[in-house]
Structure 1
Amino acid sequence: MIIKQAELTDVPELLTLYQELLPFEMTLVEAKQTTAKMIRDETYFLAVAKENQEIVGTALGICCQTVTVPFLVIEDVIVKEKTRGKGVGRQLMMALDDFATKNNCAYAVLVSSGYRKAAHQFYESVGFTEGVRGFRKVYVE
């Protein structure tokens, strides 16, 4: 398995994979434009896991800077259902850890809906703790 920065040619497969997380409405053109912006921005790491040329997982890391220290925001961790439990998510998270380290991030944060118990167990298994309380405000349904 290879973990690498996404390329524009990955966008059609990524759109299909994102459907496993939640439904959305975005055209291929819009998705390519958004992905191109992320690829150009060094504070973004849109990781894809490829096995036999097929995308089997993705995760997004965004390095944010505060007045004092940078930190990593993790979003959209998705592993194809048929490949869950085979180390794909773990390797994606290790790649995000490497990205955070290279960018001198002090810590990483992520949010996960309360009902996603299996995901919570996974996050704890890769070093995340539940010792903080997070909030989310939704702007687009």
Structure 2
Amino acid sequence: MTVVCRIAQPADLPALQALYAELIPEEAPCLAEMAAALARMEASGLSAVFVAEDQSGVIGTFQLVIYDNLVRAPRRKAMIDSVIVRHDRRGVGIGRQLMAHAVVVAAERGCCRVGVSTAFRRQVAQSFYDTLGFGRFGYHYLYPVSSAPEH
């Protein structure tokens, strides 16, 4: 089985939409909005969605966000987000390949650290990141911010 990791293209969006439905079923991003977000990521050069694919198509994904950090200047940091492997392909090393690819890309782009977070309820994911050598550090907090402009 040959798995290739690469930057996602607009043609990958339907497969990504299906993967994200496995990750967070209550979310339903529309393809047009996903395409616009993918274009913004490409234009920024600091965020990208990657896919893992084999002969059957897209089987996994993650997003890598790179940012400059003044404390560690001039080095950068990276966050890995939205990691998912298609349900019928889990447990065969695809997630490991995705994470290894993320770390390599982060290093190539000058990052000194790579972080990843997952929900408290996702204990399988937590164990997975532990086995990859990610150390548990602090807490990750989220605060909802309205995207609607105030008048």
Secondary structure at the residue paired with 1:85?
A: coil
Residue in 2 that maps onto 1:78: 84
CA separation of 1:140 and 1:51: change in aligned 2, threshold 3 A = farther
**Could you tell me whether the CA contact under 8 Å between 2:81 and 2:116 is conserved in 1?**
yes
What is the Cα-based RMSD across aligned positions, in Å?
Answer: 1.5
Work out which of the residue numbers 27, 32, 35 in structure 2 matches 1:29.
32
CA separation of 1:15 and 1:140: change in aligned 2, threshold 3 A = farther
**Could you tell me whether the CA contact under 8 Å between 1:56 and 1:79 is conserved in 2?**
yes
The runs of at least 4 aligned residues of structure 1 exceeding 6 Å deviation read none
Identity rate of aligned residues, in percent? Answer: 26
5+ long unaligned stretches in structure 2: 147-151
Cα separation, 2, equivalents of 1:21 and 1:73:
17
Secondary structure at the residue paired with 2:29?
A: coil
Q: Which moved more, 1:23-32 or 1:69-78?
A: 23-32
Taking structure 1 as the reference length, the TM-score comes to: 0.92
5+ long unaligned stretches in structure 1: none
**Could you tell me whether the CA contact under 8 Å between 1:7 and 1:39 is conserved in 2?**
no
**Could you tell me whether the CA contact under 8 Å between 1:75 and 1:111 is conserved in 2?**
yes
Which amino acid in the other structure matches residue 37 of structure 2?
A: T
How big is each residue's C-alpha offset from its partner over 1:55-90, in whole Å with a ceiling of 9 and x where there is no partner? 100011111101143101110000011101111111
Residue in 2 that maps onto 1:19: 21
